[in-house]
Amino acid sequence: MSEPIRSYEPATGALLWEAPPSDVHEQIRLVERCWPAWAAMPSSYRIETMRRFANGVRAAEDALADLIARETGRPLWHARAEVAELVDRVDRAIAAYSERTGQRRLEGALGARMALRHKPHGVMAVIGPHVMPARVPADHIVPALLAGNGVLFKPSEKTPATGEMLVQLLHEAGIIEDLVQCVIGGPEAARALVADDAVQGILFTGSTHAGVAIARSLAARPGKLLALEMSGNNPIVAWDTADIASAAALVVQSAFTASGQHCLAGRRLIVRDTLRDPLVEEIKSLADRLVIDHPHADPSPFMGPVIDMDVADGLTESFLYLMSNGGRPIKHMQRPFDGLPFVTPAIIEVTSMRERPDVELFGPLLQIVSVLNFETALAEVNNTRYGLCATLIGGGPEEYDRLWSNSHAGIVNWNRPSFTVAPNAPLGGVGLSGNHHPGGHYAADYCAYPVVSAEVDQPRATIGIGLKALEIVADR
């Protein structure tokens, strides 16, 4: 008998939730049988159902935010912001569905009508991360349902309770239970979803390692849709600015919000040498003041723990690796609570390192690179296989235009935190950060596929060229 899936509160170590693993293949069969009836519903019905879901999330805001905070360890204020963003993005998804996949009439020749319509794929698997475990998967689930698909949602095995509650809220909004299934399990459950022929699309958000493994497994199956939203080794360029305090605040927000457990978090600060000392001093001073505590603490903490002890241990080991290979510590990473996955923000100068690891260190660990000119800064920005986001702090329009034009990133911000994305914008990157299927507002593009039709009421055609002449035989 399979071991149950268990979720523990990172901040306390207490058992929060447990359940047996799902029968994945049985769940796939349920969704496979159910989705055609949902697809046949008028789009107005599906839209209204999603609006009821948004209202249900709004009504359950306190309970859902509390669960997110307990299961992820993030401060309650940050969990509340996630729930509010989820509600807002349902309306944005409805607008995107109408704007990007609506029916259109096109110009046709010889009186023919030309039509553009969109069809659902059928059964879609949404594989979500423990980062923002309600809002991020909803960005895929809601567009998939609006398009007429059925959904198998596998939440991260680290945040299954939040995933289960999200699916319950969908069912309470009027979604037939068989149409949206919550798949409880670890990597083996994800592999089963990817491998099953009945699953027509995989919408994945998570690590590059897992996303690349999925892509490799589907290399010989081009008919199965794959949308990947993956990791980032995101650069922040700090250039000429007189407002050192604001620049430092933007860096701290970008690097340490949500304990650095966000795919859009700033990982590398590339700073002009003349700005380096005052800016880094201010960043360290601000980081020293950050409150680190459990999600419901009073006063409210800026940071909670990371998701589990394995992540915390990996971060401390990564800091030691950087330090042992030429990095110069500016603020050491510490473990303030024994036996729990809390880590303090860490800052390390890596300018003199001969080889800097091009990996996403998924936590509050900021690496600093000092440069002499903007050309070198741009080279450092692109000194990565990832391409999720890039940020400029300070500088002027000329520097921003150069960063925008030359950086390999799907999101480029100026004097805003690295994780700033408009709710009606695409969200995704290039390189090892994505496969050109950005989420957010653009998820509507791949949750249904376009079908173009030429239509005439009656058949009418002749062949005017390339025919042999008719042979006339005289009557005898």
The share of the chain scoring above pLDDT 90, in percent, equals 90
| CB-CB contact of 294 with 303 (8 Å) | no
Helix (H, G, I), strand (E, B) or coil at 432: coil
Closest CA to 348 of 273, 290, 301, 283: 283
Closest CA to 73 of 140, 170, 2, 8: 8
Closest CA to 51 of 203, 164, 170, 153: 170
Q: For domain 5-230+434-455, give the CATH superfamily.
A: Aldehyde Dehydrogenase; Chain A, domain 1 (3.40.605.10)
347 bridge partner residues: 331, 366
- In this predicted model, which residue has the larger pLDDT, 473 or 440? 440
pTM, two decimals, is: 0.94
**Mean pLDDT taken over the chain:** 95
DSSP code per residue over 321-363 = HHHHTT-EEEE-----STTS-----EEEE-TT-SS---S---S
Q: Which residue is catalytic, options 34, 182, 263, 447?
A: 263
Q: Which residue is catalytic, options 9, 32, 157, 229?
A: 229
What is the predicted pLDDT for the residue at 111?
Answer: 65
pLDDT tens, residue by residue, 269-326? 999 999 999 999 999 999 999 999 999 999 999 999 999 999 999 999 999 999 999 9
User: Does position 476 have pLDDT exceeding 60, yes or no?
Assistant: no
pLDDT tens, residue by residue, 209-222? 999 999 999 999 99
Instruction: Delimit the domains of the chain by residue range.
Output: 5-230+434-455, 234-423
Q: What value does the mean pLDDT take over residues 168-194?
A: 97
User: Does position 233 have pLDDT exceeding 60, yes or no?
Assistant: yes
At the topology level, CATH places domain 234-423 in Aldehyde Dehydrogenase; Chain A, domain 2 (3.40.309)
263 is known as an active-site residue = yes
pLDDT tens, residue by residue, 399-427? 999 999 999 999 999 999 999 998 888 99
107 is known as an active-site residue = no
